């Protein structure tokens, strides 16, 4: 029984890996200064009513690197399925859904969710880089489900377990990132 739950939790993490790693990619890209020519704010530095549209933290580099990482991960997941590895934690049939489209939508959803969140954050007067609990944590998961819904008939069980796991796992991964000096702030 417990083993079944454990497998289900690992399976959900495995399924969301394209989104999780896409969400982490912009910070690595920033720290390692990948593709410096893409390090430009998506909002072009423009403001609405004296407030940044998105802020300096949302760059083309983050968006593009996130999408590329998600496509790489979904392709690896399809390859692992082709050779029959990790069958017990696989919830999706990567070889039947278009895994490239899935990776693209996962990355675009994750980073798009983050961008939409920053847009709202600026409107409610929270400065770029300041915390907005819960929304900062769930933005990319909601974006991921929203865009991949066209390819996968997600169940409520998968959706809510993913939400809870993300909320629980986020503080841990952030503190790890902060400790490893990948992130500047612990949230
Ligand atoms: N990042 C990026 N492009 C993106 C998303 C993130 O370059 N589309 C990089 C930025 O360097 C950003 C960092 O990843 O500072 C952390 O991302 P996040 O926490 O989402 O951004 P914040 O700077 O906290 O901005 P906001 O308040 O708008 O969430
Ligand atoms: Mg932030």
Determine the structural domain holding residue 103 and report its residue range. 2-179
In a domain, 184, yes or no: no
CA-nearest residue, atom 21 of ligand 1: 57
In a domain, 185, yes or no: no
pLDDT in tens, the chain (187 residues): 678 889 999 999 999 999 999 999 999 999 999 999 999 999 999 999 999 999 999 999 999 999 999 999 999 999 999 999 999 999 999 999 999 999 999 999 999 999 999 999 999 999 999 999 999 999 999 999 999 999 999 999 999 999 999 999 877 777 777 787 777 777 6
The H-or-E segment that residue 47 falls in is strand 47-48
Mutation pick for ligand 1 pocket among 20, 22, 26, 61 (CB with most ligand atoms within 8 Å): 26
In a domain, 187, yes or no: no
In a domain, 31, yes or no: yes
Measure 160 CA to ligand 2 centroid, in angstroms: 23
In a domain, 16, yes or no: yes
Measure 14 CA to ligand 2 centroid, in angstroms: 24
Please report the sign of the dihedral spanned by the C-alpha atoms of residue 133, residue 18, residue 80, residue 78: positive
174 lines ligand 1 (CB under 6 A): no
Q: Which ligand lies nearest to the CA atom of residue 121 in the structure? A: 1
Split into its structural domains, the chain has a count of 1
In a domain, 143, yes or no: yes
At a CB cut-off of 8 Å and minimum separation 6, what does 182 contact?
A: 27, 28, 31
Q: What are the backbone dihedrals phi and psi of residue 184, each rounded to the nearest 5 degrees, phi first?
A: -85, -25
In a domain, 59, yes or no: yes
């Amino acid at each position: 029984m417990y083993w079944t739950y454990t497998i289900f939790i690992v399976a959900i993490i495995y399924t969301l890996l394209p989104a999780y790693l896409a969400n982490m990619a912009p910070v690595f890209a920033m720290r390692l200064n990948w593709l410096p020519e893409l390090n430009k704010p998506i909002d072009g530095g423009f403001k609405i009513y004296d407030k940044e549209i998105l802020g300096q933290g949302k760059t083309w580099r983050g968006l593009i690197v996130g999408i590329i990482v998600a496509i790489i991960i979904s392709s690896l997941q399809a390859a692992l399925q082709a050779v029959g590895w990790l069958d017990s934690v696989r919830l999706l049939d990567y070889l039947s859904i278009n895994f490239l489209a899935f990776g693209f939508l996962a990355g675009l959803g994750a980073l798009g969710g983050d961008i939409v969140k920053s847009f709202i954050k600026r409107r409610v007067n929270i400065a770029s880089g300041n915390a907005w609990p819960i929304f900062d944590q769930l933005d990319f998961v909601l974006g991921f489900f929203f865009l991949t819904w066209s390819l996968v008939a997600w169940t409520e069980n998968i959706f809510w377990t993913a939400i809870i796991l993300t909320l629980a796992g986020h503080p841990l991964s952030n503190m790890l990132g902060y400790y490893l000096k990948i992130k500047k702030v612990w949230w």
